[in-house]
Chain A
Amino acid sequence: MNILQVYLTLAAVLFSLGIFAVITRRNAIAVLMGIELILNAANLNFIAFARFGGMNFSGHIFALFVIVLAAAEAAVALAIIINLYQNFQSINVDEAQQLKQ
């Protein structure tokens, strides 16, 4: 299927599910998974636009950078989660609500 809209719709599905995970999941790692979904949706869009925009490789480059950032983000986020676990004995995000003070 060589129609842009299909890929975009698939990306929209992934994005929406990622957002849903971020909003509803209590577990921090699950939230992180939602974020990975969102990033994948973005990447899919980049590649799709690159494909249908005259095979522009800039989109590929952007996708590469997003993957790199995702890797770095995953590493730092997991470190934070471990730290959080050490402090609260839990990684439920709604229990870490000291911002409310």
Chain B
Amino acid sequence: MNIFLQYTLLIYFLPLIAFGIQIFVGKRLPRQGDWVSIGAVLATLVLSIALFAGMLLDYNPTFKQNFSFTWLETANFKISMGFLVDNITIIMLLVVAIISSASHIYSLKYMEGDSRYSQYYAYLSLFTFSMNGIVLANSMMLLYMSWELVGLSSYLLIGFWFEKDSASNAGKKAFLTNRVGDIGFFIGIMSLFTAIGSFSYSDIFAGVAAGKITGTLLTLAGIGLFMGAVGKSAQFPLHIWLPDAMEGPTPVSALIHAATMVAAGVFMMVRVFPILSPDVLIIVAYIGGFTAFFAATIAITRTDIKQVLAYSTLSQLGYMIMAIGTGAYTVAFFHLAIHAMFKANLFYGAGSVIHGMHHALHKLGDHKTDAQDMRNMGGLKSKMPVTYWAMVISSLAISGVPLFSGFLSKDAILAGTLALVNRTGSHHLLLFFGFGAALITAFYMFRMIFLTFHNKPNKPKIFEHMKESPTAMLIPLVVLSTLSIFIFYTLPNVNPLSGQGWFTHLVAQHESLVPGNLNPSVYAIEESIHHSHFPAMITSLIVAGLGLLLAWLMYFKKLISAEVWTKRLRPLYTLSFNRYYIDELYDKIIYQPFLKIADWVAYLDWDVYDKYFINGFGRVTEWFAKVVGIADYDGLDQGIVDGFGRSTQRLGNSLKKIQTGKIQNYVLYAAFAIVILLILQML
């Protein structure tokens, strides 16, 4: 068997086996079986690293392996499933494996003593399995199945503490919101299937290139696929579920709702990029850009540490989507990988802080104070040095400071946006979104850092009981912080200001397959990005520095009073604080009318249909049954059935007389019969 197939099969199925073991016998295993899941995920990590090393040694940008088997065959069509292994797959596998392993290890301490410990690990394994399915899929079919599976595991993990209403509601919200996107996704897949007759990427690409699906239909299919991404990657207007999803355990937030699952939408868009028509790309760019900016503005006013990170995730995902829209889709994937590392790290840091807060509050016997509220923290730097440094490194990365990984990808995205503007001479709004979001990101990230770790402790009592988290939780922090350094992404180049390296070499941009050369060629895109690179870098450095400075002045030096500016910008603050009333808006324009319709339908169903039609039908039936009963009992039973019996009885009684038991009577009858026969003979 092909070595790649062996590896991918192992990577794909090991977590599933772990899930099976955990869900059925996990509770009875020693340590509740956490070693099963951890073993499985570490095995996938080792295998992913092996694949990755192989890829680096091979250093072939066009490497591609496709394994396919027939899953379903009918007279009219054939559906095959299988794995597609190329450089993107291998990189993504490694990202998933790293973050997933980190989460598994981190959870050892974070989830210690939870009543459903083994279930938690089972769900984590299920998620890893499903996520690998998305990454490995070579067809829309397997992609969609895995897509729904990650939705399910996400639901299970968000609502893991379902005793809390907010957690179970958040789970439902995430699931249902995702459904809205998935409907579009499904429509997109099916319209491609209808036109081309296959689910596999290669067939779809070939079909699009051959012009089997063009024009409006192709655009609609692209929008459908993008709707899936909007749902999964929490883009505006379906972003509402992600902040609520923070109700789940923090390692889950890090793994699923920051690094991997939410990136699935971006990953899918990267996969299908060659078939997206120009109209779709513009929509994608604007949605992404708007989400990036819009989420960043909300993040400013969050006080919950995880909420800040949640909105920052939204914002960064918006960046990736915008990058796809501008045509620089390899950059989007670049940012995906880099973002996964530092965002997971940020979440683990936040988790570490929350874990410490919980312990401190537990010791104080305080169950009212919010362990996630930054206003209850402050000055934690001295107590949690490892956590602090990890978070600072990640914040520097996300803010786009040179020497850190985030700078490379963010700069590339902004360069791509600037290139688009330069190429087309319009879409200046995207530039505003991009650079504005970069400024705000630097600001709110350091606002978080300063509020949490610097200055005097806001609650000295709690502060006293704070201490650094256990080693199992610090290992992922250290590893991921290391991975936030630029050098891992630019080797063999060591220029901190340029993203050129193994990644850009191995992940080559594909030409658009949309017929008619509607999209610019790869050469045109790369050329324009090349020209835009320098101004974009300068601008992004300036805005990042500006944001950082603002945060420093406002929350560290307190030279600018946050309260005063809050009052001055009251309307803006209120909007941001209330998340632009999006949830309330949905409540008003979707939920309430829907509930009203439901009420009305219920009235129709219950009071009208049931009462008059169903019950009426019942009454008619009852009456009919009575009539039939009379006919049956008095007529049929008494008359025909019993009558038949009675007549038989009467006949029997009369015939009984013939049977006297006297042989001579019988002989007489026989003789009589002979007479009759004779008479008949004579006639």
A residues with a Cβ closer than 8 A to B are: 19, 22-24, 31, 93-94, 97-101
Contacts and interface: CB of A to CB of B under 8 A. Distances in A.
B568 interface: no
A22 B664 contact: yes
B664 A24 contact: yes
Task: State the 4 A-B residue pairs at the shortest beta-carbon distance, nearest first.
Answer: A100-B661, A97-B661, A99-B661, A94-B662
B72 interface: no
B682 interface: no
Contacts, number: 26
Contact of A98 (B661, B667, B668, B671): B661
A39 to B, nearest CB: 15
Given A22-B667, A23-B664, 4 more contacts: A19-B671, A23-B668, A99-B661, A101-B661
A93 B664 contact: yes
Contacts of B668: 23
Given A19-B671, A23-B668, A23-B671, A93 B661 contact: no
Contacts of B661: 97-101
Main secondary structure of the interface of A (DSSP, over half): helix
Contacts of B659: 100
Contact of A97 (B660, B667, B671): B660
Contacts of A98: 661
Contacts of A101: 661
A23 B668 CA distance: 6
A9 to B, nearest CB: 16
A23 B663 CA distance: 9
A99 B660 CA distance: 8
Interface in B656-674: 659-664, 667-668, 671
A19 B668 CA distance: 9
17 contacts: A19-B667, A22-B664, A23-B664, A23-B667, A23-B671, A24-B664, A31-B664, A93-B662, A93-B663, A93-B664, A94-B662, A94-B664, A98-B661, A99-B661, A100-B660, A100-B661, A101-B661
Nearest to A26: B664
A97 B665 CA distance: 11
Contacts of A93: 662-664
Contacts of A97: 660-662
A23 to B, nearest CB: 5
Contacts of B664: 22-24, 31, 93-94
A78 to B, nearest CB: 17
B670 to A, nearest CB: 9
Nearest to A31: B664
A101 B659 CA distance: 10
A49 B159 CA distance: 111
A97 B661 CA distance: 5
Interface string B639-683: 000000000000000000001111110011001000000000000
A93 B659 CA distance: 15
B658 to A, nearest CB: 11
A101 B661 CA distance: 8
Contacts of A23: 664, 667-668, 671
A31 B661 CA distance: 17
A100 B671 CA distance: 20
A98 B661 CA distance: 6
Contacts of B667: 19, 22-23
